[in-house]
Each structure stands twice: as C-alpha cells, then as structure tokens.
Amino acid sequence: MGNHEIESDGSLIKNAFLLFDKMSELHKTLPVAYAVFQVIRNSAGNGASDAKYLYANERFCNGLGAPKEEVVGRLVTETFAEDSMELLEYGYRAAYFGEETHHTTYSKALGHWMEFTIAATNIEGCCIVVCTFIDDSHLEKELLRRNSTTDDAIVRITRLLSGEGEYEDIMNSVLREISHVVHPSRLDILITDRITFDSKFEWCADGEESRKEVLMGLSYEKYLTNWRKYLNKDDVIQIDDVEILKESEPEGYRLLRELGINRFVWAPFYDNKHRLLGFLCADNYELREEIDTLRLIQSISYFIGFRIRNHTLVEFLDYRGNHDELTGLKNRRVFGETLKVLSQIKEYYGLFYVDLNLFKLANDNYGHHVGNEVLRETAKRLSSVSDFEVYRLGGDEFAILVDEEIPESEYEQILDDINRAFEKPILETKEYSITISASAGFAIAPNDSDNPNELRKIADQRMYERKKIMHEEIENSENR
C-alpha cells in the first residue's frame, strides 16, 4: 500500500486507533502516550525528511501542550523543531526496515526528558511512537542513580590513591581504573613547573601508541599559557571538538591533531600555594549517560594533586636527608651507610678521600658566596674523573666510593685524573681568577683492610700525606 493510499485511508487508521485510545483511557494509571507517524522520505529515498501525525492520543497531546485537533495532520518538525532529527531517523528505520528503537532524550522545545519506543506497524511507511514524558521525580531518580554510579567510581579510585604501595604502581593503577569508567583513548597526568610540561604517567587504550616522549619537555608558554580562559564553571577544560581551537590556539591545535585528539577534558590540580602543578587529562572519552565524566575527572584530579604534593614533599625531605644541599652530592651519612653495606656484601671495593688545597684562602678573600661556587664546581669536576659515586663529607672534604673490583693501577689513574681536573682555574671572571688543587688518598679492600672503618683511616692518612707534600712544595717554592 503506497503513501497516497495511506493518506486517503487515514480515517480508517484513525478509527482503529481511536478504539485503542478509548481502551487505554480506561487504565488511567498507565503512563502511555503514543502517536502514529506517516514517514515522509527524502528526495534521495534513503532517509526521512519529515513525518506527519496520523494520530496522537490525549496523553501524547498533553505532553506536546496542544489539543488533538492541532496535532493530527501536522508535521513532526513543527512540534519538535530542532529535536526532530533522531526521531525521524528512528521512525524511518522502523517504518521501512521494521527496526525497533528505545531512546531517551531531552527536548529543548518541550522542556521534557522523554523515553521513546519507536516500532513498525503493519502499515507500510508508518510507525508507532510510544512515549513516556519523564516527570521531575523520575528525572531526579535518574540523576541520583547517575551520581551514585559516579560517586562509587570516585570512592573506588580515591581508595587506590590513598593505599600502600609503590608510588608509580599506584598512579598507573589509578589511570587504569579511570579508563574502565570513562573509556578514553588515552589518559595522562601532566606535570608542569610553568616553564615546561611532561607526561608523568600515561594509560593508552589497545592499539594506541604512547606519546610520553612527544610530551616531554614541551614549552608551557607555547602550549599552555592561555589554559585558564578555557575553564568552565566547574573549573574543568572541556573541549568537545578541537576544531574550535584551530584559529585561537594554532600551536595547541596542531599538537592535538598530531596526537589524534578530537575531544578532551582536562582537570587542573595545584600545589599548596595554588600554583598550577598539572592536569589529569582524558582524551576521546566516551559520552555515557550512566556516568558524570566531568565530575569524576575533576574530583579525581584533586586527589591526584594531593598525592603528588605529598610524594614530592616526601621526596624532597628524603633528598634533603640524603644529599648535600649545596652541591647535590650524597652526604656523609649516606656515604657511611653505603660503605657499611658494601663491606657486608662485597669482598673487593675501595674509597678515596679528597681534600681541597687553598680553599680557605679563596673563601676568606672573596666571600662565602664565591666559596660556595668553588665547592659546586669541585663537585662537578670530581664527578667527571670516574664513573663512581662522589660524596661531600663536609666543608671542603669529599669522598669517592668504588663499589666494584678494579686493579690498583686504575686507582692510581683516578688520582692522576683528580690532579688534572684542577689544573685550570676553578673560577674565572673579569674580576678574579681562582686556582686551587686537591689532595687525595685511597684504600682498597681487602688489600689494605677488610674493616670499613680501618679503610677510612688509611685513605684519610694517605690523603694527608699527599697534602703535606703539597704544602712542603709550596713553602720550598716561596723560599727560593
């Protein structure tokens, strides 16, 4: 039966549905609103350009806010306007292919959330649309369900962040758990010092390549200077289509396209002075009704920032406890502990003691700030003479710990290299040129002793013997 015949036989169709209408009205408690559409094909014959109401029951008309006589015979686009595209597509699939669709949408025109069931009829070119206009209490339940799902995910992930274990393992586990909820192509935790930024942690979906190297050391000024202007009311950056950045952020847009990012949400987190510390980033995430992705990313970003700040503080305190603040070398305590461990697990090892000559003179003549620069440069030069760890024991005293078996000739070579490292001035400016030297002595286990304390004494004694020789040479040269 063609569409023309449907039009001429409309009264028969309406009579049939009037009977069903009277039956349904006997059951007032059933929230059934329905209409019959005659689908109008587009000129290409591969979709719907519009649809006509052949019939609509009272509940449906009440939802539209119009009496039956104003609905029947009208076009769907006249009642739903901009909301009609999905409805027409599903109607076309039902009318001509017998497909049944269940769909929930919000109509801006009507101000309602609606649940549709769109199904075929036994009349060619027609479909029936059964609709529930969701009232506020129903909507509230849906929002509560959605929020509950989101809250469950937030609680689950924050527990991971507060758990025990290796820091890197925890952060990677958190990203994996977030991926199970929001289904992105990639997740990143970006860290910035507001000069550069890096991808500190990353999760990639199957088939996606890592981009950590691409995001290593990128310019903050070039890519992130304007990030604040894209924050929404929830203090999250949500870009649904990166094409909107093409003109305003050309460099950022180029990078996003290079990385295959079409949409993203970035949630910033801060240090304890509210300076930007980094972002939790979800790229190409799925739009899912049952989860509030923005709220989840925003909430988790806060806890990630807190965990990173704590870890950074612990690292800093650990560093301060193990390193010399001035030179960055490991300190006397770590030297002693490491030497003790070496003596317990290795038979062959050794150490150097190094002491600067003429440092006090430079410090007294030019001031402590210049003396500090001398010590920093000394640390660099001593670190360059071998592959072994250098320690600052205090003042102008340093040590080198040899944690493997090497021949005595190599110890002698390191002594020569130490001497050569100080042949050039240690500091040279337009105002002054400072030259110092270094005296060093070594001891080897088990040749000299298998007792670590005894080795320290031997190395120290040999260092002072060389220092004494150096002072004698200076005195002799001055007396000539």
**Element of type H or E holding 347:** none
pLDDT digits (tens, 9 = 90+) for 307-357: 898 888 778 778 788 999 999 999 999 999 999 999 999 999 999 999 999
Is the confidence at residue 194, as pLDDT, over 80? yes
- The CA radius of gyration of the chain, in Å to the nearest whole number, is 39
pLDDT digits (tens, 9 = 90+) for 360-410: 888 888 888 999 999 999 999 999 999 999 999 999 999 999 999 999 999
Is the confidence at residue 226, as pLDDT, over 80? yes
Provide the CATH topology of domain 3-134.
Beta-Lactamase (3.30.450)
What is the crossing angle of helices 136-161 and 167-182, to 10°?
Answer: 160
Residue 143 has a pLDDT of 47
- Identical topology for domains 141-316 and 332-479: no
Question: What's the chain's average pLDDT?
Answer: 85
The pTM of this model reads 0.53
Core vs surface per residue 174-200: b (16+ CB within 10 A) or e: bbebbbebbbbbbbbbbbbeeebbbbb
pLDDT digits (tens, 9 = 90+) for 244-290: 999 999 999 999 999 999 999 999 999 878 889 999 999 999 876 65
Average pLDDT over residues 190-217: 92
Residue ranges per domain, the chain?
3-134, 141-316, 332-479
Give the count of alpha carbons within 13 A of 232, CB side only: 12
- Residue 230 to residue 239: CA distance in whole angstroms: 8
Helices and strands in the chain: count of H runs, count of E runs: 16, 17
> Do residues 203 and 172 touch, judged by C-beta distance below 8 A?
yes
Provide the CATH topology of domain 332-479.
Alpha-Beta Plaits (3.30.70)
Q: Return the number of other C-beta atoms located less than 10 Å from residue 86's C-beta.
A: 14
Kindly report the CATH number that applies to the domain delimited by 141-316: 3.30.450.40
Which residue has 């587009």 as its token pair?
42
Average pLDDT over residues 39-43: 92
- Residue 158 to residue 267: CA distance in whole angstroms: 16
Nearest alpha-carbon partner for 115 in 206, 31, 37, 193: 31
Residues 6+ apart with CB under 8 A from 12: none
Q: Please provide residue 151's backbone torsions phi and psi, each rounded to the nearest 5 degrees.
A: -60, -40
Residues 6+ apart with CB under 8 A from 447: 408
According to DSSP, the β-strands at 112-120 and 126-134 are antiparallel
Bridge partners for 137 per DSSP: none
pLDDT band of 139, cuts 50, 70, 90? very low
Residue 134 has a pLDDT of 61
Q: Please provide residue 231's backbone torsions phi and psi, each rounded to the nearest 5 degrees.
A: -70, 135
Residue 474 has a pLDDT of 66
pLDDT band of 7, cuts 50, 70, 90? very low
> Do residues 441 and 462 touch, judged by C-beta distance below 8 A?
yes
pLDDT band of 186, cuts 50, 70, 90? very high
- Residue 390 to residue 380: CA distance in whole angstroms: 9
What is the crossing angle of helices 408-421 and 368-384, to 10°?
Answer: 140
